[in-house]
Chains A and B, each alone.
Chain A
Amino acid sequence: MTDSTSDGAHSDADLDPANEPRQSGPVERADGAESIVRIRSLVKTYFRGDEPLKVLDQLDLDIPKGSFEALMGPSGSGKSTLLNLIAGLDRPTSGTVVVDGKQIDRMGESQLARWRAATLGFVFQSFNLLPVLTALENVELPLLLAPLRAAERRKRAETALKIVGLEDRVKHYPRQLSGGQEQRVAIARAIVNDPKIIVADEPTGDLDRQSAADVMTLLEKLNQQLGKTIVMVTHDPAAAERASIIRRLDKGILV
């Protein structure tokens, strides 16, 4: 993993010039740290028939590298929309999204897929493990895209399962796991390719209190011990408290 230079003032030099349009003003940074996510003038408009629905309106956002952010806000405020745009799962109507030095809103689908595989781990509210695969195989899934030997893939998947504390469940199928365990497998899947940033959309939304607390402890550990940047959408104040920064989104605007 190549971290960008720690010298913030020259970080732009690391960016791919083809993907990085020059900003007119100086690059803003939250907390003075280097931004792993930089969003400018982001607009996302959905159309319901002919009727436009502006979900995100001229949104600017910097997420410092290594931070653990919680994104809160009322239902329908556009949290998932924002998260999906950061993950490159959706395309902005206008504005730029730069993640880990790459401007992703201009990438083609295949390029975006490769970028996602290398840079980002996604954790869903409803776990989304493939039912036909064991825990180990589910974790191994993203590694199928990397040029790795089978033994190496297996080893990395086992390590990831160990990190989430499920080394004794490798052969279990999702239906043989509890919700909390499923989500931990999903987190192992999200970190197995050593991404720089983990995005999670209500990761504790489908879990009971104890499992939710376990998952939050795990995310905290990933952030503090492994230095992963985590962006998490949540409705749960207890979960949000574990984050280092809490942002609130209301009607498409960060408040």
Chain B
Amino acid sequence: MTLIELAARNVLRNKVRTLLTVAGVAVAVLTFLLLRTVIYSWTAGVDAAATDRLVTRHKVTFVLELPLRYFEDVRMVPGVRVATFANWFGGKDPQHPNDFFQTLAVEPDTFFDVYSEMKLPATELAAFKQNRQGAVVGDVIAAKLGWKVGDRITLESPIFPTPPDQPWTFMVEGIYEATSKAVDRSTVVFHWKYINDAMPEVRKDEIGWVVSRVDDPSRAAEVASAIDRAFETRDTQTMTQDERAFASSFMASFSAVLSALDIVSVGILLIMLLVLGNTIAMGVRERTNEYGVLRALGFSPSHIAGFIVGESLVVGALGGALGLLISYPIVNRGIGNWLEENMGAMFPYFQVTPLLATIAFALALALGLVAAAVPAWGASRLNVTDALRRVA
């Protein structure tokens, strides 16, 4: 027998209680991981957004359109290397009304130059550019809805309505993959011109926003203000931000939800601390007499504190490990896959990252330490004769 074994015996002493506490810590860790992953995934787009990519939109709000000729004007601004534009389409597949995916009407010749992290074979890209009704779809949505290159797909849009029996039809010319985790792999893009040509005169030549890449990322801010200056005296003013700022202004509308999740995730940690602390304090109270015996046998106050802290660390570690273990099937496989497939635009990458897993485990240990601090301090300061008189 060793000191460690002695401590381990005490952990296993009240198996039901230890098990329940470990389970409690595990559930807390799981919930914590889930909440943090929601926050991480939601904001990952912001963090991964390129700073050399500028988004030019209507000064008032990104819901309002810009005139088409603004695209050419942005292109002319010095420092802009390549530009493209896109429009929200808000499309839905009438055959899969419950599947949500992002649909964009884009400028086909430049779109994939600006979004270079969306990759598709050169032949597919060429075919897409050729075909006015061509579409490129993400690999995740393609796999989910069973779309293959050459398939004909139909979309309905509340923004660009069609007669009920004549939905928009497209031909899948390419399937893109993503080189960055922050890219949604469920987007459908097609020719803006195809939509525009079908529009009545009053709605023709409207684009949602212009996206450009600059030659020198360090001068992005200068280029952005140069773009806005170019439209200062025009009837519609613009607001140009780098993509990160654009993404965060979009995120800002969710900031209340995010901070609520933030607070709840901290609350979960506090609950974990209380669960652990309660168990440890209970065990220490029951065993006060034994600590007196150990002290009488020659164990020092720091031995007693060590036993208590050790016990708490073991419970914290077991709970943390169990929480991580169950988070894999639940968060990464279950919820994560579902969100990536169904809400990819919002949660392009919903997985527990190794960093988060490490942090969660370290927190379980740290909370074990904190939970044991007060009982350990008290028990180590106990007067031996008082402790011996204490009956469990």
Contacts and interface: CB of A to CB of B under 8 A. Distances in A.
A161 interface: no
A116 B6 CA distance: 20
Contacts of B297: 116-117, 122, 141-142, 145, 189
A140 interface: yes
Interface string A90-128: 100000000000000000011001101110101010001
A87 interface: yes
B116 interface: no
Contact of B301 (A84, A109, A137): A109
Q: Which of B2, B293, B298 has the most CB of A within 10 A?
A: B298
B358 interface: no
Contacts of B338: none
Contact of B13 (A110, A120, A132, A150): A132
Interface in B210-233: none
A124 B388 contact: yes
Interface residues of B, number: 25
A253 interface: no
Nearest to A122: B296
B293 A128 contact: yes
A59 interface: no
A144 interface: yes
A163 interface: no
B385 A84 contact: yes
Interface in B256-302: 289-290, 293-302
A153 B297 CA distance: 15
A113 B299 CA distance: 6
B114 to A, nearest CB: 68
Contacts of B144: none
Contacts of A137: 1
Interface string B370-385: 0000000000000111
Nearest to B381: A109
Looking at B3, B13, B289, B296, which has the most chain A CB atoms within 10 Å of its CB?
B296
B2 A109 contact: no
A110 B300 contact: yes
Contacts of A122: 296-297
A110 B385 contact: no
Nearest to B6: A144
A144 B296 contact: no
Contacts of B302: 110
Contacts of B301: 109-110, 113
A218 interface: no
A90 B6 CA distance: 26
Contact of A150 (B2, B10, B294, B385): B2
Nearest to A116: B298
Contact of A124 (B13, B293, B300): B293
A114 B9 contact: no
20 contacts: A89-B296, A90-B384, A90-B385, A110-B302, A113-B300, A114-B300, A117-B297, A118-B298, A120-B298, A122-B296, A122-B297, A132-B13, A144-B2, A144-B6, A145-B297, A145-B298, A145-B303, A150-B2, A153-B1, A193-B298
Given A113-B295, A113-B300, A113-B301, 6 more contacts: A90-B383, A90-B384, A110-B302, A128-B388, A130-B293, A133-B9
